[in-house]
Amino acid sequence: MKGLLRKMSVFQNPIEPPHIVKGWIDNKQNNGSGIEIPIFYPGTGKQVSVLIEDSEEDVNKAVLSARKTFEKSSWRRLSVEKRIEILESCRKLILDNIEELARLECLGTGLILREIKGFHIHRAAYNFRFFAQYISQAHGERYDNTEGYITLVNREPAGVVGLIAPWNAPLALATMKIASAIAFGNCAILKPSEQTPFSLIKLASLLQDVLPEGVLNLVNGRGPITGSSLVSHPGVDRISFTGGTVTGRKVMMDAGKQLTPCTMELGGKSANIIFASADYQRAIDGALIGIFSNNGQQCLAGSRILIEEKIFDQFVEEFVERTKKIVVGDPLNDETEIGPIASKQHMERILSFVEKAEEDGDKLLVGGKRHSEENNGYFIEPTAVLAKSNNSRTCQEEIFGPFASFISFSSEEEAINIANDTEYGLVSYIWSDHLPTIMRISEEMRSGVVWVNTPMMRELRAPFGGYHNSGVGREGGYSCEQFYTEEKTISIPKAPLNLKKFGK
């Protein structure tokens, strides 16, 4: 792995962060009443700020603010035209502040700056445009099937929604929740990860310029304190959570005490199935993108790479050689392909799977170590192992890092059995230029999304979510409309009824 980490003169912070991170309630900063939590820049391992945790009292204050706006103001009754105008203004604010938002995102996550600017920020802005366009076509329903009656079905905003965003792509994923929630007239309370709050704090402060008071509040803190207070609050009508499966179960348990509906986008251990009939070079490129993009930290990662026997040895050899040449380093540098892991704790967890792999009889092919020659940042070598079987822990547990496992298969049936032998079911990848193979395999995959001959992509009109332990519910245009609204049925007789006269 010599030369993997390019020599940099000095690793510097992408931007000067706020010295103290606070939440937003009622369009102003809230002085949280909880403990102080240190925040570190993954590129250097140095503390760069401190976050003031919001207590149960602070969360209650945010919920009451949102509830007051929802019940007492005109927000939920705004015309579609006015709501579209607001959503487009949110989009413009994001695009007008690309540089600062991108550098704050980099500071919190360690993601590569050019990729944040090139994708994450534009996706965040597009989320608002998409839902502006979606609600412009929204409609109700009318039924005339029952003689003598007209029945109308309207959708009304659900109320106050709690939005819990993950640490791996805060802007892109949180804005999907914010845009869809407010597009349908709800008031929202956002809780970022306490590890990566910078970009979402800035976003919340920007959006206060166009959103009425109380429409978007933000609270900070750890899941067991701030998060639990939010999801168990009786004044919250919906919970949207993106994060790990273990935490997701706890969120649903807390929300279930109030019968609060939830959507859960949880973990994944996605199969990336590569057939000999695939475009070979494109499949190599796609497999590398699928596991190493976003610093390897994404639930969509194609972390189990299943390769047909006849091309297995060649494919693995070329994959490993390409992996050795990946540039790991400063996320501000234009040559960098993988930046630091988001936290020291998570870096150590990823590296612990090297030992687990050896214990299970897997063979380490490349990587598996921490980089330490430059600084104290959370850098690791991109890693791949040859799995003894699909029962290995590297094939069954979500590692959530730049860590791939290779498995060989000899038939379509075997590939299907291996791919579906997992507690997860978020996405699947299929690489083949043989249409009958594509159709058979895609129909057999037990996952919410199947991507054919492409790395990850999102069609926001289509539902996105997983089977099994990968989640509950879906996100996307119509799916979000269903989740963030209540259906109301109104039946009206076409003419006065001749009613039975009790007691006369």
Rounded CA Rg of the chain? 24
Q: Residues 183-222, buried b or exposed e (16+ Cβ, 10 A)?
A: bbbbbbbbbbbbbbbbbbbbbbebbbebbebbbbbbbbbb
- Residue 248: CB atoms within 10 A of its CB come to 22
Name the catalytic one among 53, 265, 381, 475. 265
Nearest to 44 by CA among 332, 236, 475, 256: 332
| Active-site residue, 299 included | yes
23 DSSP β-pair partners: 30
| Active-site residue, 395 included | no
Nearest to 185 by CA among 488, 481, 487: 481
Nearest to 43 by CA among 3, 18, 17, 10: 10
Contact assessment for residue 395 and residue 387, using Cβ atoms and an 8 Å cutoff: yes
Q: What is the DSSP string of 280-322?
A: HHHHHHHHHHHHHGGGG--TT---EEEEEHHHHHHHHHHHHHH
Burial class from Cβ neighbours inside 10 Å (0-12, 13-18, 19+) for residue 141 reads exposed
Cα distances (Å, whole numbers) of residue 47 to 43, 104, 485:
11, 14, 42
In total, the chain counts a number of residues equal to: 504
- Residue 77: CB atoms within 10 A of its CB come to 10
Nearest to 179 by CA among 233, 222, 130, 121: 130
306 DSSP β-pair partners: 273, 407
Residues 152 and 141: their CA atoms lie apart, in Å, by: 6
Contact assessment for residue 142 and residue 152, using Cβ atoms and an 8 Å cutoff: yes
Largest CA distance in the chain: 97
- Which amino acid type is present at position 61? K
Helix-helix angle 121-136:170-183, to 10 degrees: 20
28: enclosing H helix or E strand: strand 28-30
378 DSSP β-pair partners: none
Name the catalytic one among 90, 106, 187, 299. 299
Hey, which residues are catalytic here? Answer: 265, 299
